[in-house]
Amino acid sequence: MAEQSGRIEIRSTPGFATMIGTSPTSPSLRGGFARRVRRSAASGAASIVALLLVTLAAAPTASGASQTMFTLVGRGWGHGIGMCQWGAYGYAKHGWTYDQIIEHYYTGVKLGHVANDSMRVMLNEGMGSAKVSSASAYTVAGGGDPKTLPGGSTATVTWSGAKYRVSAGGKSYSFGAPLLFTPGTHPLKLANESQIGYAGHYKGTLRLIHYSGGLMVVNRLPLEQYICGVLPREVSPSWPLESLKAQAVAARSFAVRARGGSGPFDVYCTARSQCYVGTDQWAAATTKAVNQTAGVVPLYGGKPIEAFYFSTSGGHTENIENVWQTSPVPYLKGVVDKYDYYSPLHIWPEDPMHWSAAKLAGDLGTYSASHPAGVKGVLQSIYVVKRGVSPRVVKAAIIGDKGITWVSGSTLRFALNLRDTWVYFTTMSISPAAAQHKTISAGDKVTVSGRIYPALAKGTKVTLNFKSGSAWHTVDVATHRASQSLGSGKKAYYSTYALTVAPAATTQYYFTHGDAQSPHTVVTVKQAVKLSGAGAPVQAGSSVQFTGTVAPPTAGGKVWLQTKKGSVWTDAAGGKQDKQGAFTITWKAAAGVAQVRARAPATTKLAAGFSAALAISVVAQT
C-alpha cells in the first residue's frame, strides 16, 4: 500500500495466491527456488593449445568497442515496508496468532479499537454513463427530494446541459447536484466495471459526481463492510485464519488513516490504496476474519498506524526511510521474515536474469535536465552504493561513459519494472564487441578483454568460454582490481580481465563468473594468402604464371586469381593448394588489366582470404 499522494510508490501486489489462483499449500509453491545449475564445459589441454594462445594483456579501457551484459538476481515482490502477506501466512502456519504477527511486523505497537465509521471508496471515474440497479425499490436524490425507483429497474445516468440525467422504469429525471443512490432491502448493483475490473453488488450507497470531465462513482459503506471487500482481493481465503485476521487488522488500520480528507473519496479500489470488491466476491473465511477482529487496529502512541503491507519480503522487511526517502517511522522498521519462503517469489524464479545494456539503457532513458535519472552516454554499469537493512537498494549510481547519475532504489525499481528493490546487479563486458565484426588473418593475435562490476576479490579469476566448432572450451583468466570516482567522495570498484588469443579458426567468445556473463563476440579468422609473379610487363594473350601460399593449408583447396577492371574484381583463373598450401595459377593475360590478386574461398571454419593486390602491366601484342 501507499499513501494516495506524496509517494512515488504504488502498492503493487495483492497476495500472490489470489493473483495466480493456486493454493499456497501446493508443494510447487513451497520454499525457495533452486538456483540454476551452471553447465560445466569440458576443456582438453590439446584443444586449448590448438585454439588459444594465452598471454597477459594490458587492462582494457571503457570504450564503444566493448559490449556489456547485466546479470540480475533478486528477491521479493512489493515495497518491503510493514507486514509481508506471505510471511504472515508462514507465521500462521507455524502457530502464531494474528496479534503476534501484527506485533512482529509493526515494531512497538499495541492493539486497540476504532469505531465502525464510514469509508468512501472511488470505484471509477471519467465515465460517460453509469448504470445502477437493485432487486428491490431504491432511491436517487440530487439536491432535492429523493425519487423512488422500482425494484428490478436499471437507472442510466448521464451528464448533459450541466445536469445529471437519470432514466429508469420508463421515467426520466434531471438533477442539479451530485446523485446519491440508496438501497432498499437489497444491495445496489453497478453494471459498470470498477477500476479493478469488478462489476456487481455493493453494500452501502453509491454517489455519482460529475468530476474531471466524466462521472465518478463513490461507494460509501461502514468500515467493517469495506474490510470484508478488501480481504478476498488481497489474500487467498484458503490461507490460515490467523493470517487472514492479521490482514484484516492491517487493512483496517490503513483505511482509518486514509479516511476523512476533504476530497470526494478516501481510498481507491485498486492497489493504489487497497484492492476492494463488492459482495459478489466476498468469501466466508475472510468475512469471518473481519468479524472476529471487528474494530481491532495496531496503535502507536495511542493512534492507528499507517499499516503498510506487501506481498513477499524475500526474508527481511525494510525501514520506510530506505524505500521512500522519508523520515524514519518507529513502527515501520525492517525485521527478519523467516517464513516468507512459502512465497513463489521469495527468490525470483528467473534468477539469474541476463539483460543487455541496450535494454536497460532504454528503460532508464537518456539523461536530461527534465530526466536527471537517465543515462549519460553508453551505459556501463548500475553500481549500488547504499543498501538498507534487508538489504534492498537505497541508492545506486548509473555509470555511463559520459558521466554518472544517481537514482533511489524505488526509482530504479519502477524504471526497470522490477518486482522489488532487493536486487543485485553484476555487469560483465567484452571487447571487441560483436558489432565490430573483428577479423584477423590466420596466425595473427587479438586481445579479448573486459571488466566486471562490482570488483572481485583479489586473485579471483573469470572464465573465458570459446568454441570454433560444436564444443565449448574454457580457460581461466586473471583479474585486476581497479576503481573510478563517482563524485561526492564515492568510488566504484571493478575488476579488469584480458587475454591475447591466436585462434586458428573463426571463434566465438564470452566471459563468465558465477551467474554473470558477458555478451558473446566473434573473432573471424580469414585465410592468409600470399601471391607473387609477373613483375615485368607481359603481352596480351600470353600465359602468365603466378605462385603463392595459403595458411592454414587446405590440401586440394581451390584458389582463384582475380583481375580488376575499374572497381570490379573478377575470378579469371584457378588453381589448387598442395599439402603445404602452395599453389600455381596460369593466366592468359588480358588487355586492360592493371591489378591482380589471389582469393581463397571461405571454408566451414575460415573466412575467405585475399592476397595483397599486385600491379601488372599488360601490353598489346607486337
CATH number at residue 607: 2.60.40.10
Final residue belonging to a domain, choices 525, 552, 570:
525
Does 68 map to a domain? yes
Cell of 228: 470484508
**Do 492 and 545 share a structural domain?**
no
Q: How far is the C-alpha of 572 from the C-alpha of 561, rounded, in Å? A: 6
**Do 61 and 93 share a structural domain?**
no
**Do 189 and 106 share a structural domain?**
yes
Q: How many domains does the chain have?
A: 3
**Do 428 and 551 share a structural domain?**
no
Any residues with CB less than 8 A from the CB of 114 and at least 6 apart, and which?
223, 252, 256, 295, 297, 304
**Do 536 and 421 share a structural domain?**
no
**Do 543 and 507 share a structural domain?**
no
* pLDDT, position 57: 42
Degrees (nearest 5) of the Cα angle 306, 307, 310?
A: 130
Does 553 map to a domain? yes
Residue entry with cell 495466480: 20
* pLDDT, position 342: 98
The candidate with the shortest Cα–Cα distance to 511, out of 444, 454, 431, 439, is 431
Cβ(142)–Cβ(136) below 8 Å:
no
**Do 504 and 599 share a structural domain?**
no
**Do 538 and 521 share a structural domain?**
no
**Can you give the residue range of the structural domain that contains 286?**
83-310
Does 607 map to a domain? yes
Final residue belonging to a domain, choices 525, 558, 587:
525
* pLDDT, position 620: 85
Residue 213's Cβ-side half-sphere holds a number of Cα atoms within 13 Å equal to 1
* pLDDT, position 264: 95
Any residues with CB less than 8 A from the CB of 305 and at least 6 apart, and which?
106, 109, 253, 257, 297, 298, 299, 331
**Do 261 and 123 share a structural domain?**
yes
Does 77 map to a domain? no
Residues forming beta bridges with residue 156, ordered by sequence position:
131, 167
Does 28 map to a domain? no
Does 598 map to a domain? yes
* Size of the chain in residues: 622
Backbone phi, then psi, for 34, in 5-degree steps? -65, 145
* pLDDT, position 262: 87
**Do 297 and 171 share a structural domain?**
yes
**Do 492 and 554 share a structural domain?**
no
* pLDDT, position 531: 97
Cβ(271)–Cβ(11) below 8 Å:
yes
Residues of the chain below pLDDT 70: 1-64, 622
Does 593 map to a domain? yes
User: For the segment 466-492, what is each residue's pLDDT rounded down to a tens digit?
Assistant: 999 899 999 999 999 999 999 989 999
Residue 439: C-alpha distances to residues 59, 79, 505, 607 (Å): 21, 49, 11, 9
Residue 28 CA from chain centroid, whole number:
24
Final residue belonging to a domain, choices 259, 291, 310:
310
**Do 521 and 532 share a structural domain?**
no
Which burial class, exposed, middle or buried, applies to 494 when counting CB atoms under 10 A from its CB (0-12, 13-18, 19+)? buried
Does 495 map to a domain? yes
Residue 53 CA from chain centroid, whole number:
38
